[in-house]
Structure 1
Amino acid sequence: MAKKTQRLSDELSAREFSSTLEKIGRRDRTEKAAFERDVLTLFNSTQNWKAIRLPGGGNTRPGDLLVTRVDLEQERRYIIDCTNEVNPGSIKRAYDGLRYHIDRSPERPPDFDEYWHVGPHMIAVPMRRRPRNDRRFRVLDLRQLKALLAAPKPKREMAVTRIGKAFQANEKEIMLAISGLILQIEEKLETLGGERPNSDDAKAKNAKDIFDLEKMKIELERIRELAAAFTKGKAPEKDVVKSVKTFRDDLHEWWEERHGSLLTTTAKSALFVSSASVLALMGANTPTALSVVGALIGGKVMLKTIKKVGKKVLGAIQ
């Protein structure tokens, strides 16, 4: 009786063990299928790459996915072998499968260029990831695969001009200053737009002021756009320099035409000082701008808050 009970217990344990293995196998197959879908989506969402599942789950050849891309006007083909985990055992099995596929038909070269063994993560891999230094075989985890497919970042060239160097060194500070100046111009434009001059001369003067300020705003927005592209390596330095110099020249012209009102009008004085401050940050300040700022501050034609802006200008220039 005791022997029969023991035998039944052993049979039950064997069935439980078999059932547990079957559950683990189903879970592993489900996880592998999900990972295959992720890898397939990753390749197909990356420019110049195209991926398909191999027929029969890769039974006709090793691997699960066939990935292609055109390189130097020639199609290159990659077999992707997906696994739940990259480890020494999985690498050995993958490479043995690759060699078997190649060696069984030595008269017929393989119809792919490389074989990639890929898993969500990689553990305990002290062995060489290129067995026999076979350059057709590559081992990657998901993080490495994403990095490999990521578009290369544009190379950021070192600036050679004073203006370019200023943007590379103080991009955030300059961008904030430009945005602040644009807001200041917009406030002035709103004020001018609300004025209703009576005489023809006053109307002409109002229209000219609005035209000048709108032109300054457009130039500042252009500088901001080009500078953002330049610091990311997407625009040439010469374009930024040209746009900054255009704004500087127009500011000088504005001074020549409006210096009388600039010296007597607080709002216009503040706008000029702020503009000169931005030029100083951009490395485009000139003796003319500095002398004007000094005259405005020395003449005490501005409020205390405007004097503080002027001091910042002189501090940035020194």
Structure 2
Amino acid sequence: MNTIGYYMARNLSKRVTPPGSQPLPLKVWNRTVEKAEKLQKQLGKELIVVAKDIEEIVLTCDVIITNLANDDVVKEIYEQCARYLRVRISLLSPLRSPQYIVLQLAPPVKNKIFVETSTILPRLSGELDSLVSRLAHCHYISCPVFGRPNVADKAQLLIVMAGEYRSKKEVAYLLVPAVGRKVIDLGENVEKAPTFKLLGNSMILGAVEVIAEAFTLGKLAGIEAGRINDLIGEILPAPGLMGYADRMARDDYDGVDGFSLDGGIKDASHIRHLTAKYDAPMPMIDIAHQRLITARAIHTAQKEEGTQSLDVLDWTALIAGSRVAAGLDPFHSRKDKAVVEEA
């Protein structure tokens, strides 16, 4: 459960139920159980139930929402879910021996909707759809979200959906306005939603790289970071970009409550995969990808030396690549010598 997933779960647990409906607690599971227990402690057992394992989530919930770190983890979790459901279905088979009669007489299995909100490769979304669709009464919705953690905190995420219409309608009713402000529906092809998300991230990442370069050049030209930040607010008044610019202006690269550097590298790699697939070069993304890797290499070296100031870097730390190339300290602008103009 990353930071955005945490806020999504918290807000969803406090959703408003229709008059006369019995509010149900949200059942949560995380590979690091302490994160799920933290949420339960914050909100109480009336709103949050901590599942003992992923099998409990799969077998007892009608809507399963996943928000995971990367493609490998997403694939692993969905394959586990499918295995648990296949076992359940086989136990319900009328061809089984008499000891399964009780299970055969149980109520029919309800429809289950799997909602994947991570940023993943489009082809993986297609694979998940095929995997889930082979299971009886199961549907898959591709549902990536746009927004930084502070946006998720305020339940203002932009939600993208693709998949079976009725399932999308049910999920949209759950997520808006509890988790997000709006749904963009991209039809039934589940690969369209993650493609759309990567297109959006390419715009954001490209803009962050340009802003990082502007801060670096401004530093060398003797223009204060605060002045550059004000200019960004005037000519690029997008809240998300202004938030990233503010981090760079303050040398605040703490990724604990932001978008991690590793997440940025993963997304940049996914975008570059699409550019190669469709022969559509994006040179700025290539540069940004290099900057992100440079920042990670510097941070890794600092960890080995024991000199790092942060455990997890935000992806705005990509500015380190631009700063080092210009002969400046990677993460601390205040360590740089002041610019002295010649008379």
Q: Could you say which structure has the greater relative contact order, defined with CA pairs below 8 angstroms and 6 or more residues apart? A: 2
Larger radius of gyration: 1
The alignment's TM-score, normalised by the length of structure 1, stands at 0.27
The alignment's TM-score, normalised by the length of structure 2, stands at 0.25
Flag the structure with higher helix content: 1
